Each structure stands twice: as structure tokens, then as C-alpha cells.
Structure 1
Amino acid sequence: MNQSPSLPLNTENEYIPLIIDLDGTLTPTDTLIESIIRLIKNNPLDGLKLPFWMLSGRAVFKSNIATRADFSVENLPYRQPLVDYLRSEKEKGRRIILATAAHRSIAESVAKHLGLFDSVLASDEKRNLKGKIKLEAIRETVGERFVYAGDSAADLPIWKAAEAAILVGASSQVSKAARRMTPIEREFPRINPGGIVWLRALRIHQWLKNLLLFVPLLTAFSFLDGSKLTTMIVAFFAFSLAASATYVVNDLWDLENDRSHPRKRNRPFANASITIPTGITVAAGAMMVALMLAAFISNGFFLMLLLYITLTSAYSWVLKEYVLIDVVMLSLLYTLRILAGAVAISIPTSSWLLAFSVFIFFSLALVKRCSELVSIGQIGGEAARGRDYRVTDLIVLWPLGIGAALCAVVVFGLFISAAETQARYVSAQLLWFVAIGLIYWLGRLWIKTARGEMHDDPLVFALKDSGSRMTILAMLLATLVAHSIHIG
């Protein structure tokens, strides 16, 4: 295969106008898709109008979305190596033009934000600036001699007409086709998301929360039952895959807020290391597998999974924006996992366990919220973006969270004294060591939070933190001994 030689970097070529595409090139994301998400988030009823707008043509479609979406470009992920290159070319006196199929309002906002472009060519309500129409607009603006920076097969006709090409994140197939057409001035290679990036996008570490499904199996001391254990493993993967699918949707729903967050801005969808269409496809596949696994276990468990998906979606889309309602919902979602585990293996759930779980998970949810506010306060912020919480709320949230933790311990203490506990455990008095362990462990979590050291979900932190692991293992051992060994 013959390839065109690289464009020589001489004075003549340096001053050939440079035309830059936006979506997929200057930014790795797609501003139209993000605008649609933003539009539906602002007004879900507008989402029903999308098919009718499309019937009027893509230009009108984009214009209607842009005028209603209130799209912000300040926190968009930009390809920094390309931006740096454009700045260096700008300093040499080169004319740089943004030419994009995105709506003019978005393109002009990007141009104003970056301060790099001499002019902007973009779509409006009358024309969709893509393919041949974009090429005509470029020729009308700069003439026949120009260098074009793009990323996709849609850019091939423009590269064919250009003096040279700048390849930005292009696939190997597109790159080969472009090299046959024109010299390459510069190439910014595609960085494909690796396994670690996908693990972060699907939040595999959050699967640890679904170990709560095994709680009924443990409290019933049926963990040696092979059939029930197998069922619980299948249930675990069903919940985990469904959870990953909802995490992806939640990240897409929350793109703008995540990009303003000190830690969440590095999430794969926030920084566009994974494209939105790819994420949606993977999420849909994971959800389908999850539902099939749940249906295989039982109709009851399938309904529990549907309830979980409904509640977690309501939390992600609406309820998490309301103060305290969000943490109450989180505590219920944790408790729901325990109930689902009981349904999967047909084991009745103790009212003591449910009361204990609601209090302890309410406390852990507040740990998560307080840790976020502490982080925001450390960088001089005043409020959480997209949530109705302020740093000043910590004065109320601290005692509320610690009080809920102590309520969980009190419920556990009452459980120890209950007649059913005395009947089921050989040495029920040993469970007081578990109560002491709970006091220490929950206190440790709150101290870590106050110090700004709680950087993970508290359940994930508990499995990473050696002190927490030792405490939890000691409590489990005390529970087993209390159940099976007579002391005094």
C-alpha cells in the first residue's frame, strides 16, 4: 500500500489556513448527543418531540435542540495535545478556523472559550454543515488551499480536497484512506480505552455492595448449602450487571456535574475516554444479561431486580438532587439487596435485620455525602454541584450520621436480648463483642471522613482498609462462635 509522504514543515505550508473539526476532533465527545441528554434532563417532555424535529431535517433538528438544551462548553473535555499544537500554530500567525456540523451556538461558545479561532463555520437552522456542504463553506471562506483536521470517514471528501490532513483519533482504516489521498501534516493517534478504563466505567469495584445479597444466606447459616450458594452467585452477577448498566446511564445523565467535581471529572465518560454510543451499547447488553439471569432464578427475584432498577433510576434521575431524600433512598437500596437475597433462596427475613440495615446504611450513606462535602470544602468550594448540599450543612449531617450509626448498634443490642436470638444462638451473649466491633468500626469510618480520608464508597473503603477488614472478620468470627459453641 502506497502512502503519501508527510507534509514538509516549511514556511509556505505553515501559513496555509488550518480548518478544525469539533466533534470527535477538538473534543473526543459528541456535542449533539450530549445536548440531547441535556435537553431531556431539563425537560423530559421535549424528548418526545425529537422524532418530529428530525422529520424537518437535521439542520432544524440541531437548531431546536441547541436553543433548548442550555449546553455548556466550559467543562468539555478537549484534546490537549491538539489544543497545544493549535496554540503554537496561532503564535506563528497561522489562520485557524473552526468548521463543524455542530450548531453555531455551540461552535461559537467553544471558539470564545478557547480563544484560538479566527472564524467559525457551523450548522444553523437552514443548513447542516457536513460533508460536501462543509467543503463548500470552507472553500468560500479560505479558497482552495487549506489543511483540515478531522477524525472520521465523513471527513475523507474534505481531506481529498485539502493540501494536507491532520489526523486526530482516527481509526486505522480511516487513517490509511486519508494517507492515500493527501500528505499528513500531523497525527494525534487514537487512544483506545483499555481494560482498566472499562472496569472504572462499569464500576466493578461497586459490585462489592452486592455481597449484601449473601447476608440472608449467612444469617441463616446456610452457606454450606451448595444449591443455595450457587443461586446466590447467579443472583450476585444479575444484580452486579444491572448495577453497572445503571452506573453507565447515571454517568451519562450526570456528565456536566461530574466534570465540575474534583474527583468525578476523571470518570471515563466525563473525560470522554469512552464514547457515549459505546457506553449505551454496553449498558444495554449488560442489562439484558442481568434480566435473563434474574428470570432464571425465580419470578420473585426478577421482580426484586426490576424494583431495584426502578428505584436506582429514580434516585439517579430525580431523587439524588433533594437533600436527605437521597441518603434515605440509598439506605433503602442497600436494604433492598438483602431482601432480594432472601427472595432468591426463599429464606424469611428478620424484622431485626431490616431495622438494623436501614439505620446502618443511612449512616453509611451520610458518610459518603459528608466525605464529598469535606473534599469540596478543602478546595474552597461551597456546595455540591447537582445536589442540594452545602459545606455548611456538615454541622447537621455529622450528628445525624453518627446518631444513625448508634441507633444501628442499639437495634443490634435489642436483637441480642430477643427471645428468638436466645433460641437460635448457643452463646448469644458473645454477640456483644459484635456490638463493640460495630461501635469501633462505625466510629473509625466517621473519623476517616472528618479527616478527609474517605475517598471511596464506605463499603468499598471497608474492604480496602486493613483496620476495617480485621474488625469485620473478628465480628463474623464472634457471630459463628456465638451460634455454634457453648461458652460457660
Structure 2
Amino acid sequence: MPLFVDLDGTLIKTDLLAESALALVKQAPWMIFVMGIWLLRGKAHLKARIAERVSLEIDTLPLQNEFVAYLRAQHASGRAIHLATASDACLAQPVADRLGLFQSVLCSDGKRNLRSEVKLAAILKITNGSPFDYAGNARADFPIWARARQAIVVNPGSGVAHGARQRTEVTQIFDDRPPLWRIWLKQTRLHQWMKNLLIGVPLLTSHAFNTSNLMAVALAFIAFGLVASATYMLNDLLDLASDRRHPRKCRRPFAAGNLGIVPGCIGMVLLLLGGLFLAASISLWFLLALLSYLALTLSYSLYFKTYVLIDVLLLALLYTVRIIAGAIVINVDISSWLLAFSMFTFLSLALVKRGAELVTMEKLEREGAKGRDYQLSDAQAISSMGISAGYLAALVLALYVDSPAVIGHYSHPRLLWLLCPLMLYWTSRLWIKTSRGEMHDDPLVFSLRDRGSWIVFVAMAIVTFIAI
């Protein structure tokens, strides 16, 4: 009994049209308008024009591994398996070649969009009206299942499995996706919202505690979080290819195919609009600060990420913008001490991030970080610069403790000297962990999981509280 297999969302856990369109827009953002013109001539024409202009890394596309294992077993038993997809031939054929399981490939050709009833007609032409089985995942497959002897449902959308059962016998259902709420929770990276606690730093250092300021800082925290989550989603979309080659980042929702590109883009826009609307309700100046953060993030993601040193300076600046925004929210002047301490600290953390990536690449025996302009030979220089930046932050802290500026805010300012060795220890610990290859590629995530870091943070909080 021949088995016809859908490609997008079934054999692979992503959509080739969305993947190729994203790749084209990444190459030339203005092509998004050209794609609208192509679409006027039909979806098949759109797919063909996009496919001939991009080169996807077929070998890293996420497969539905349970289903692929089933297909391999069926192929080994001598069953005839055919790939039937609405994707363009330029993309579908390489996927088929990657697996080597299919006797033929039915696909769109620039004139005919092989979907739903059109795909059914192509299948019936191959089988001469004889019985066949079909594996799919979407409502567009309903007409095919209505004529199929049996159905195999893979990673189905809402109501798809029920709809398939109403049309034919469903023999197997393959679904390897985590719960949807968990996918979105992971993709929005709520743990990264911890970075937005920096918005409250000016409130702590100025001791300007009152109900109004606390409420404003809380709303600003949420606004920054929503916009930051949107930018993380954009960054993941732009980094799809490199993430899929990474030993850990390949498990991110977009890279793993657990979250589709189209719903992801919709969610990204909603998060962005929600954050900007909330920022506007706080103050115009805070909205401008958030827009500045957004502009810096976009320039980093779209352009400067690949430039040595400029990327880490921008990362440090993105952290510092949060502190500046926090000062704007409560309408206080930000001190030069705080700005200097912040820049050196965040520069060290940004260099930790790059250093950890290079250590990972060295273990994988690669020459450099994909998507970056760093080489393994840069590791020692990055380590030296990062350690120096962290120690300079400790020096700034020491100079601040010994300055007249500290007297008006603390009853026992001399106790703040204890913060300096704690800062030196924490910086040194991060870099030793990095050099050993024990550092997470995000130093914030590492710090939140690291018992030694928590001991340092708690000790710093106790010292500061007693000094007040």
C-alpha cells in the first residue's frame, strides 16, 4: 500500500515557505514588498521566486524524529513512500534527497500550488485511483484523507485529528511537541526579565522610595519585559540557521520547530505593541527611552552582531539603557559613578558571553563562532579584556565608597568597602568558569543557577542594608 507523506509540519517541523521568506527578508529587507507583488501572480509563483533566491541549510531543518523512524521502518519493509508537498521543487527535492526514503516527489512547480484538492489529484494520478495512505498535519489535508484508505496524523493543529477521524481510519498519531503554554513560556524567555530589574537600580541608589515611584518602576519593568521578549523572538528568527548548529540553542522553540514562524511573528508584534502602549502610559520620556532600547537592539540583531568588539559594547550599552530608563521613570539624575560602574560590569558580562561561545566552539573543533566574526585565537584577548573590565568596575565601586557622594546616603559608608572583595570574587568566578567551559552562553542564566553567585548577591544585599 503506497504511503504519501506531507512535508511542511509533518516530515519536518517547520514550513519551508516561511523559512525561505524569512531568509530572503534577512538578506534584503526590502524584498518583503516584492514578495507582495509576486503573490499577486499566485502562491506557486511566490514560492518559486523565493526558492530560487535563497539557500536553506537542509541538513539542519528539524525533523519529526518519531515519524521519520516510522518511515525508515516502512521503507526497510519495502513499502513505497512518496513525498507530496505544496513546497517548491527547489526546496522539496533536497529534503527528499537528505532522507533517501521516497520513490517520487510531488511538489509545487511555480505554476501549480500542490495543496489540498490539487495535491489529491496528483496523488490519484500516481495511484491510478488505487487505495493509498496519507500522512499530514493540517486542515488542508482533509480532502486527501477523505479519499485515503488510512490516515497518519503528525503534530496536528487544533481539531485536525478529530477531522481526520471523521473522514477515514486514523492508524497512528505522532506528536512530539511540548504543551503550547510551555513553548511560549520558553520563547518569551521570562527568566530574561530578570535583567529588567536594573530599572529599579536608580530607585535603590537614590533611596526615593514612595508608592508612586514603586508603581511606576513596576509598570516600567513590565513594559521593558514585553518589548525585550519581542526582541528575543526577532533575534531567534534571525539566528535560526546558526542556532540549529549550536548544541544547546538548537532546542529553542523556533530552531526546534516547536513554534511556527508565522504565529511567532504575530506574537512578537503583539508583545511589542503591548510594551510600547504601556510605556506611553507611564511617560513620553520613558517611551523614548524604550524606543531607543528597541532601536539599539534592532541595530545589534540586524547588523552589528557580526562586528568584533562593537557587538559587546552594544550589549553593555543595552544593559545600561535599562538603568537610564529607570532614572527617567522616577525623575532622578543618574550619577556618573553608577554609569561608570554599570558600563564596566556589563562589558565584562558581554565578553563572558562571547568567551563562552568560543570555548564551546573549541570543544566542537570549529574555527570560530558561526554568525560572529570571532576566531578561537581571540579567546585569550577576550578573557583579558573581560577580566580587566570586571576589575575596573570593582575599582569604580571602591572610589565611590571613598567619595563624598556616599556620605549623604549611608549611615555606615565604610561597610560598603566589603562590596569590593565580593565584586572581585564574583568577576573572577565567572571568568574561571568560562575558561573551564562551565559557563552557560548567557552569564545571567548561569548566575541565577549558580549557588556561589547567589551567596555573593545575598552578601552584597546584607552589607548594603546594614550600611544604610
Fold equivalence (TM over 0.5): yes
1:319 to 297, 301, 304: 304
Amino acid at match of 1:49: V
Distance 1:236 1:259 in 2: 31
Aligned pairs for 1:177-216 within 5 A: 177-189=163-175, 191=177, 193-216=179-202
For 2:178 and 2:364, the matched residues in 1 are separated by 32
Q: Distance in 2 between matches of 1:92 and 1:461?
A: 48
User: What's the counterpart of residue 401 of structure 2?
Assistant: 416
Unaligned runs of 5+ in 1: 1-15
Secondary structure at 2:134 match in 1: strand
Whole-Å Cα distance in 1 between the matches of residues 192 and 263 of structure 2? 21
**Aligned match for 1:119, one of 91, 94, 104:** 104
User: How far has the Cα of 1:318 moved from its partner?
Assistant: 1.5
1:144–1:162 contact (8 Å) kept in structure 2: no
Counterparts of 1:23-422 in structure 2 under 5 Å? 23-145=8-130, 146-171=132-157, 173-189=159-175, 191=177, 193-223=179-209, 225-422=210-407
Percent identical pairs in the alignment equals: 47
The code of the aligned residue for 2:147 comes to: A
Please state how far the C-alpha of 1:120 moved relative to its aligned partner. 0.8
User: CA RMSD of the aligned region, Å?
Assistant: 1.7
Change (3 A) 1:288 1:378: same
Are the aligned partners of 1:162 and 1:182 in contact in 2 as well (CA < 8 Å)?
A: yes
Task: Look up the match of 1:428.
Answer: 413
SS at match of 1:51: helix
Q: 1:229 to 1:141 in 2, by over 3 A?
A: same
Unmatched 5+ residue regions in structure 2?
none
The alpha-carbon deviation at position 257 of structure 1 amounts to 1.0
Asked if 1 retains the 8 angstrom alpha-carbon contact of 2:2 and 2:81, the reply is yes
C-alpha displacement of 1:265 = 0.1
Give 1:424 deviation, angstroms.
Answer: 4.0
Structure 2 CA distance for partners of 1:457 and 1:292, relative to 1, 3 Å: same
User: Does 335-344 or 404-413 show the bigger shift?
Assistant: 404-413
Q: In the TM superposition, what is the alpha-carbon distance from 1:156 to its structure 2 partner? A: 1.2
Say if 1:25 and 1:169, in contact at 8 Å, map to a contact too.
yes
Q: In the alignment, which residue of structure 2 is the partner of 1:12?
A: none
Give runs of ≥4 in structure 1 deviating > 6 Å.
Answer: none
Give the deviation of 1:283 after TM superposition: 1.9
The corresponding residue for 2:453 is: 468
Of residues 136-145 and 171-180 in structure 1, the stretch that sits farther from structure 2 once superposed is 171-180
Q: In the alignment, residue 73 of structure 2 is paired with which amino acid?
A: S
Q: Deviations over 1:392-427 (max 9, x none)?
A: 210211101111111212222222333323454443
Contact 1:367 1:446 in 2 (8 A): yes
Q: Matched residue of 1:148: which SS? A: strand
Contact 2:407 2:413 (8 Å CA) reproduced: yes
Q: CA deviation at 1:456?
A: 5.2
The residue identity in structure 2 corresponding to 1:185 is: T
Residue 449 of structure 1 deviates from its aligned partner by 1.1
Letter in 2 for 1:233: A
Q: How many residues matched?
A: 467
Q: Measure, in 2, the Cα distance between the counterparts of 1:141 and 1:181.
A: 21
Report the 3-state secondary structure (helix = DSSP H, G, I; strand = E; otherwise coil) of the residue aligned with 1:25: coil
Structure 1: distance between partners of 2:324 and 2:304: 22
Q: Distance in 2 between matches of 1:125 and 1:87?
A: 30
- How has the CA–CA distance of structure 1 residues 403 and 200 changed in structure 2, closer, same or farther, with 3 Å as cutoff? same
